[in-house]
């Protein structure tokens, strides 16, 4: 069973190499995913500072047919491309067409991913989920006029989600390298369902959901000096969080983890091309 290997690797019992040399390990991939949870929770808390600010998403607002958020993300991705962001295979843009060339010298990121698989993107699904499903859950209704800051906060959320979900490529690669014999038959027969089953670990997913919920509680609390000493105590329902922890749990349950596995399946289906 692949699951046993996963938990062995995750607990650091075996290593396949040094990530800086392109030899990723399940432990290094898991650490990156855990660190990215913090970034996602921070970005959601920061977005929740502003109300929904509907004009940001209204295609008629700017008079150009493009919503302010789309304009803002497109222009930002163009700037980030000039600064070399998309040389890093961890970064997947929402609007990849016509991005300018980097002004910075090429960076030698280790070639970890299979070249054909590297192009997998679920950005459109992330974009729609974020704007239609997630935003109404983390913001209050209203309009405070801070549209630029709102769009900038959206950009941070979208980039954090894109990076996390497309990290599924690295997850898939390390799982494949770890047990090619487990995945090869399903890849050969293009059996996406079988791959999805091989990539699903209920127990791990439960843990991730619990952890991100807890992060939303810890990072979203109002830190005051009334607490005694250096001890922070809180219980469910007692503290007011800046983003509802159950929404962050649901974000991972309904969207982040399923989309990550979709990326993993799509990646593996091309892995032997």
Binding site for a second copy (CB under 8 A): 35, 38-39, 42, 45-46, 49, 55, 61-62, 68, 71-72, 75-76, 79-85, 87-88, 91, 103-104, 107-109, 145-149, 151-152, 156, 207, 210-211, 214-215, 217-219, 221, 223-225, 230-236, 242
Instruction: Report the nearest approach of a second copy to the CB of residue 181 (Å).
Output: 32
Angle value at C-alpha 142, between 63 and 65, nearest 5 degrees: 15
Instruction: Specify the residue, 54 or 232, whose C-beta has the smaller distance to a second copy.
Output: 232
The first and second tokens of residue 206, run together, are 């439960």
Instruction: Specify the residue, 185 or 207, whose C-beta has the smaller distance to a second copy.
Output: 207
Instruction: Specify the residue, 145 or 180, whose C-beta has the smaller distance to a second copy.
Output: 145
Judge whether 87 and 106 are in contact, CB under 8 Å.
yes
Instruction: Specify the residue, 124 or 233, whose C-beta has the smaller distance to a second copy.
Output: 233
Instruction: Specify the residue, 61 or 201, whose C-beta has the smaller distance to a second copy.
Output: 61
Cα 109 from Cα 131, distance rounded (Å): 32
Instruction: Report the nearest approach of a second copy to the CB of residue 157 (Å).
Output: 13
Nearest C-alpha neighbor of 47 from the set 152, 143, 142: 152
Instruction: Report the nearest approach of a second copy to the CB of residue 50 (Å).
Output: 11
Judge whether 222 and 234 are in contact, CB under 8 Å.
no
Cβ neighbors of 23 (< 8 A, separation 6 or more) are 16, 17
Instruction: Report the nearest approach of a second copy to the CB of residue 76 (Å).
Output: 7
Instruction: Report the nearest approach of a second copy to the CB of residue 94 (Å).
Output: 15
Q: What is the DSSP letter of 99?
A: P
Largest CA distance in the chain: 61
């Amino acid at each position: 069973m692949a699951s046993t290997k996963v938990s062995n690797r995750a607990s650091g019992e075996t290593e396949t190499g040094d990530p800086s040399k392109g030899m990723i390990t399940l432990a290094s991939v898991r650490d990156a995913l855990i660190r990215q949870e913090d970034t996602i929770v921070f970005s959601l808390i920061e977005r929740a500072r502003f109300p929904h600010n509907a004009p940001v998403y209204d295609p008629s607002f700017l008079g150009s047919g493009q919503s302010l958020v789309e304009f803002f993300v497109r222009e930002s991705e163009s700037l980030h491309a000039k600064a070399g962001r998309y040389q890093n295979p961890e970064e997947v843009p929402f609007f990849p067409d016509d991005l300018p060339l980097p002004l910075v010298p090429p960076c030698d990121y280790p070639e970890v991913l299979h070249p054909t698989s590297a192009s997998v993107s679920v950005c459109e699904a992330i974009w729609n989920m974020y704007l239609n499903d997630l935003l109404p859950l983390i913001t209050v209704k209203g309009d405070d006029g801070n549209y630029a800051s709102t769009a900038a906060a959206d950009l941070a959320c979208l980039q954090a989600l894109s990076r996390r979900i497309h990290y599924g490529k690295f997850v898939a690669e390390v799982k494949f390298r770890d047990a090619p014999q487990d995945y090869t038959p399903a890849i050969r027969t293009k059996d996406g369902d079988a791959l999805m089953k091989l990539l699903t670990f209920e127990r791990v997913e439960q843990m991730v959901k619990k952890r991100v919920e807890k992060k939303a509680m810890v990072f979203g609390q109002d830190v005051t000096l009334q607490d005694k000493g250096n001890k922070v105590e809180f219980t469910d329902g007692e503290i007011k969080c800046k983003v509802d922890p159950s929404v962050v749990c649901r974000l991972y349950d309904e969207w982040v983890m399923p989309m990550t596995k979709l990326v993993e399946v799509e990646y593996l289906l091309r892995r032997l091309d």
